[in-house]
């Protein structure tokens, strides 16, 4: 894990690198600028009272969490009047646990730990329950199944029994493995899944204690830098991965201006990534200690945006169905919309919210 104070940050030159044009889809740059003009007055009015307000944010060592890295490193929190303390954990599962424990104000995570948390809550609806403020990422092919390439071949589709698979349970990797086995037609009884943190997986593969693993960046790049001979297979191409900005219902209710400022910061970060992708990737690579070129295969399948749309609803429901089967549930029904609070995002950027929600008819939070 890693902590940094983000009250200040150095501003990186916004260099629009033309050499990246063929391999970075500039899908939204023009209309971001137009929307920015429209939203400027609204943001100034809604966020102006948050000057100097402290906030604790738990991100993760994960390429999907690039907006947090950019917001912290480029001083975007301070520009919106937030004194942010940012901590990077090895997974969003840890970040969500810290949010539940009251140790942070905001958590960045995938949907899997959030869904498991919701299903295990026998008394949902409390002030400390996590709620999604926005989705930051749409992607497939983030998680990879990794096997050693220098040992006798591990035939995942063969007949060998008790193949050992290492992955962090309760995270997106576990869900991705399930999707992989279904669509590859694999017999789950042939595999023993071992719960291992992402940082330990390279050592398990190197020592032969694991036959395969499910990992994501930057862990794959770190394995290659260790010259660990590996082969990778896409594990999550059959569903859309998400990375969401989460806080508690209490924070939304008691700190509405801070929440709106936070959303404006992440909008700024996404826009900066779109305008200057090469410096953004370089900053991330420096922070996690890898070669920027090693991140490019995953970089190409990432689509950063700030919004709430139907694809988030569908993916949540898919993971709820999976988690109910694999983890059970303390409650009989889960209302997907109860896991989302769209009001703060709708107040700032109405066009970014494309889902119906009862709270949108109740007016702004303040």
Residue at which a domain ends, from 173, 208, 234: 234
Question: Angle formed by the axes of helices 256-275 and 277-288, to 10°?
Answer: 110
Regarding whether 198 and 161 lie in a shared domain, the answer is yes
The whole-angstrom distance between residue 214's C-alpha and the CA centroid of its chain comes to 16
Regarding whether 151 and 134 lie in a shared domain, the answer is no
CA angle 41, 47, 50 (to 5 degrees): 150
Residue at 185 is within a domain: yes
Residue with token string 């995270």: 171
- With H, G, I as helix, E, B as strand and everything else as coil, classify residue 129: coil
Regarding whether 122 and 15 lie in a shared domain, the answer is yes
Distances (CA, A) of 56 to 88, 102, 275, 285: 11, 10, 27, 23
Tell me the pTM: 0.84
DSSP letter at 109 equals: E
Cα(232)–Cα(190) distance, integer angstroms: 20
Regarding whether 118 and 247 lie in a shared domain, the answer is yes
Q: Which residue range forms the structural domain that includes residue 157?
A: 144-234
Regarding whether 248 and 212 lie in a shared domain, the answer is no
- CATH code, domain carrying 342: 3.40.190.10
**What is the strand order of the sheet 230-234 is part of?**
191-195, 163-167, 212-215, 144-148, 230-234
Q: CA nearest 98: which of 242, 241, 247, 244?
A: 247
Residue at 281 is within a domain: yes
Q: For all residues of the chain together, what is the average pLDDT?
A: 84
From first to last of its 366 residues, the chain has per-residue pLDDT tens of 544 444 434 333 333 333 333 344 444 444 444 454 444 444 444 444 445 799 999 999 999 999 999 999 999 999 999 999 999 999 999 999 999 999 999 999 999 999 999 999 988 889 999 999 999 999 888 888 998 887 666 778 777 778 899 999 999 999 999 999 998 889 989 999 999 999 999 999 989 899 999 999 899 888 988 888 888 888 877 778 899 999 999 999 999 999 999 999 999 999 999 999 999 999 999 999 998 888 777 787 889 999 999 999 999 999 999 999 988 887 777 889 999 999 999 999 999 999 988 888 765 544
Q: Domain tally for the chain?
A: 2
Cα(220)–Cα(222) distance, integer angstroms: 5
Regarding whether 226 and 280 lie in a shared domain, the answer is no
Regarding whether 14 and 122 lie in a shared domain, the answer is yes
Cα(201)–Cα(204) distance, integer angstroms: 5
Q: CA nearest 261: which of 138, 269, 132, 274?
A: 269
- With H, G, I as helix, E, B as strand and everything else as coil, classify residue 187: coil
Cα(236)–Cα(175) distance, integer angstroms: 9
Q: Which residues contact 228 (CB under 8 A, 6 or more apart)?
A: 148, 202, 205, 206
Residue at 366 is within a domain: no
Residue at 307 is within a domain: yes
Residue 321 near residue 239 (C-beta atoms within 8 A): no
Q: CA nearest 271: which of 30, 73, 38?
A: 30
């Amino acid at each position: 894990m890693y902590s940094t104070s983000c009250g200040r940050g150095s501003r990186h030159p916004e260099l629009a690198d033309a050499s990246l044009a063929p391999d970075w889809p500039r899908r939204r740059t023009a209309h971001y600028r137009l929307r920015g003009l429209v939203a400027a007055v609204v943001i100034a009015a809604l966020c102006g009272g948050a000057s100097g307000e402290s906030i604790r944010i738990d991100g993760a060592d994960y390429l999907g969490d690039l907006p947090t890295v950019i917001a912290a490193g480029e001083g975007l929190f301070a520009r919106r009047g937030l004194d942010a303390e940012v901590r990077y954990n090895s997974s969003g599962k840890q970040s969500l646990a810290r949010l539940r424990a009251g140790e942070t104000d905001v958590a960045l995570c995938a949907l899997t730990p959030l869904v498991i948390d919701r299903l295990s809550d026998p008394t949902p609806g409390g002030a400390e329950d996590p709620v999604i403020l926005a989705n930051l990422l749409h992607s497939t092919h983030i998680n990879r199944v990794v096997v050693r390439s220098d040992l006798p071949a591990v035939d995942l589709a063969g007949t060998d029994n008790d193949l050992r698979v290492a992955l962090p349970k309760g995270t997106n990797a576990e869900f991705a493995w399930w999707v992989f086995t279904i669509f590859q037609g694999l017999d789950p009884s042939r595999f023993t899944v071992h719960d291992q943190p992402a940082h330990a997986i390279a050592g398990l593969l190197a020592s032969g204690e694991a036959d395969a693993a499910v990992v994501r960046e930057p862990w794959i790049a770190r394995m290659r830098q260790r010259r660990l001979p590996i082969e990778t297979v896409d594990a999550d191409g059959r569903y859309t991965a998400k990375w969401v900005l989460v806080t508690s219902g209490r924070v939304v209710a008691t700190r509405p201006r801070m929440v709106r400022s936070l959303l404006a910061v992440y909008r700024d970060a996404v826009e900066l990534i779109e305008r200057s992708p090469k410096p953004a990737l370089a900053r991330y690579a420096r922070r996690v200690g890898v070669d920027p070129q090693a991140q490019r295969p995953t970089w190409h399948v990432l689509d950063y945006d700030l919004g709430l749309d139907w694809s988030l609803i569908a993916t949540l429901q898919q993971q709820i169905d999976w988690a109910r089967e694999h983890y059970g549930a303390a409650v009989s029904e889960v209302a997907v919309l109860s896991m989302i609070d769209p009001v703060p995002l709708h107040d700032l950027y109405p066009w970014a919210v494309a889902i119906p929600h009862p709270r949108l008819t109740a007016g702004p939070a303040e």
